[in-house]
Amino acid sequence: MSSSIIYLDNHSTTRVDPRVVEAMLPVFDVNYGNSGSVTHDFGMDAHDLVHGSGAAIADIIGAEVDEIVFTSGATESNNLAIRGICHPASKRRHIITVQTEHKAVLDPIQRLGLESNFEVTQLPVGEWGTPDAGLIALEDLESAISDQTALVSIMMGNNEIGTIQPIEKIAEICHRHGAVFHCDATQAVGKLPVDVDGLGVDLMSFSAHKVYGPKGIGALFVRKRDRRIKLHSQIDGGGQQSGRRSGTLNVPGIVAMSTALKLCADELCGESVSQDDSAGKILGTSSDQEASSGNSPALEPDRIRWLRNLLYQRLTDELGDLPINGQPLDHEQTHLYCNLNCQFPGVNAHSLMTMVDSVAVSTGSACTASTPQPSHVLRSLGLIDDQIHSSLRFGIGRFNTESEIVESADLIVAAVKKLREMV
């Protein structure tokens, strides 16, 4: 693939950090034992790697090591959480979720409704153009929840529009009614400070490939303290992970996930190496070449937010108003700093992407990119077809540079102007 393509689709997946690669490589050909084979040194070494990595991940999110269940990714984590609570023997038969959830939550819940006679409530979100755009109304949750509600599943940071829901307040409502609260935090863990006790979540899904780790490894936090959560396993076999998820553990992936999240935790408080230096290792450039203005902040969240805002500013300076889908960009408590989802009025987003094929962006979730239907997230905001079909999602990440943002903006501006002239 051409190295000239600028990657701005970091919500779908991220480039693996070279420090993560360095940490996981020895687990393929040196410490390659099966963590379940504890009768010899190879297996014991692998077991120790898994335990140490799990303890590090648990520490980052404020959990205990035995509350971490490793999976193949967030989709499996979501399914394990949902089906692990809502099963044929469940006494409570009601599930609450939100219209803007990822399909990895909506689809298993829908199937439970169709095949297992669970009642399903999908909460609406605030409409586009209102102060609460993309956010649930807590009073709607209060009205929907009852003593028959088994599970409430609401994501922390939306993968398309970046909306951050009030998780702590949602958890309080759930627990007051005796319902289990599951949170898909795939777009939040590693990007935001996340503490499972402070948030009050019972189950929480997350994945490595959204935070500069490899694909194929994820985790589910399953609370054992205070409100002990018992899951019905979905994969049976060797009884690994206390029977909650059987199967040979992906030791290289677990080590990589731990390393990736530790780097993210360091970046959040400025303890890791410069992001520009990391970008230079990957892109073959030096930080001096990229730091053209000297204005880029040092902390990763601040730097990425600055790049995101720079992109939007350059686009709007040339193209005029580009409506934001979701919360305003300056609402830091309710909008992920790495996300920009905006409309290009008078332009078809797919035509724009085709014309600017040297910039990798998307119109929505990678998991639904192969389907022709308009984004269900944007539809839930009340957008009409013209608005949906003119919308693009940008995901800014660790390895993006100022020069990439400037070049991307210039290319997009030129393409939009050309497409508008063709109408």
Q: Which domain holds residue 283?
A: 6-16+273-422
User: Would you give the DSSP letter of residue 241?
Assistant: G
* Each residue's pLDDT tens digit, 253-291: 999 999 999 999 999 887 754 444 444 443 333 343 444
Q: Confidence class of residue 374 from pLDDT cuts 50, 70 and 90?
A: confident
What pLDDT is recorded for position 297? 84
Residue 290 DSSP SS3: helix
Residue 402 within any structural domain of the chain: yes
Token look-up 């409502």 returns 173
Radius of gyration of the chain (CA): 22
Q: What's the token pair of residue 418?
A: 């050309």
Residue 335 pairs in a beta bridge with: 163
What pLDDT is recorded for position 291? 43
Using the 3D structure, point to which of 265, 297, 330 is the last residue of a domain.
265
Out of 25-29, 32-36, 266-270, 329-333, pick the least confident.
266-270
Order the strands of the 218-222 sheet from edge to edge.
68-71, 218-222, 203-207, 180-184, 149-153, 94-98, 119-123
Residue 280 makes CB contacts below 8 A (sequence gap 6+) with 286, 287, 289, 290
Q: Are residues 252 and 302 in the same domain?
A: no
* Each residue's pLDDT tens digit, 212-254: 999 999 999 999 988 899 999 999 999 999 999 999 999 999 9
Average pLDDT over residues 121-135: 97
Domain count, the chain: 2
Q: Confidence class of residue 344 from pLDDT cuts 50, 70 and 90?
A: very high
* pLDDT at position 371 over 60: no
Using the 3D structure, point to which of 265, 298, 315 is the last residue of a domain.
265
Give exposure, 151-181, as e/b (b: 16+ Cβ within 10 Å): bbbbbbbbbbbbbbbbbeebbebbbeeebbb
Q: Are residues 147 and 284 in the same domain?
A: no
Residues in the chain: 423
* pLDDT at position 415 over 70: yes
Neighbour-count burial of 65, counting CB atoms closer than 10 A to its CB (0-12 exposed, 13-18 middle, 19+ buried): middle
Q: Which residues are marked as active site?
A: 367
* Each residue's pLDDT tens digit, 182-216: 999 999 999 999 999 999 999 999 999 999 999 99
Between CA 243 and CA 238 the distance in angstroms is 8
Q: What's the token pair of residue 370?
A: 């192969």
Q: Which of 309, 316, 378 is nearest to 345 (CA)?
A: 316
Q: Are residues 108 and 245 in the same domain?
A: yes
Average pLDDT over residues 80-100: 97
What pLDDT is recorded for position 293? 52
Q: Which of 83, 68, 51 is nearest to 204 (CA)?
A: 68
Q: Are residues 304 and 203 in the same domain?
A: no
Residue 409 within any structural domain of the chain: yes
Q: In what helix (H) or strand (E) does residue 68 lie, and over which residues does it extend? A: strand 68-71
Q: Which of 119, 189, 127, 113 is nearest to 155 (CA)?
A: 189
Q: What angle do CA 374, 375, 376 make, to 5 degrees?
A: 110
What pLDDT is recorded for position 270? 74
Q: Are residues 80 and 122 in the same domain?
A: yes
Between CA 16 and CA 306 the distance in angstroms is 22
* pLDDT at position 372 over 80: no
